[in-house]
Amino acid sequence: MKPEIHPAYPEATVSCACGASFSTHSTRGSFTVDICAECHPFYTGRQKVMDAAGRIERFQKKYSKKPA
């Protein structure tokens, strides 16, 4: 990097609402986030999977026309 043209890039601590934190570098400084990789359902394996097939069958059963 060329001297005197780039912003300061000090070490920063990122803190999550779940209590996890990690160090990185940032021009913004230290900050907090609402969700991180340690508590996000996609990364922890607690992701809720919707049963689309069951929902479609229930809808068709409920709203299908009855024979005359």
Q: Which pLDDT tens digit goes with each residue over 8-64?
A: 889 999 999 888 899 999 998 899 888 887 887 776 776 666 666 777 788 888 888
The class of domain 1-45 in CATH terms is few secondary structures
Instruction: State how far the alpha carbon of 16 is from the alpha carbons of 20, 60, 66, in Å.
Output: 5, 43, 54
Residue 33 CA to residue 14 CA, distance in Å, equals: 7
C-alpha torsion 14→35→20→33, nearest 10: 30
Where exactly are the structural domains of the chain? 1-45
Q: For the chain, report the end-to-end CA distance as a whole number of angstroms.
A: 80
Identify which has the larger pLDDT, 1 or 19. 19
Residue 22: closest CA among 37, 8, 2: 37
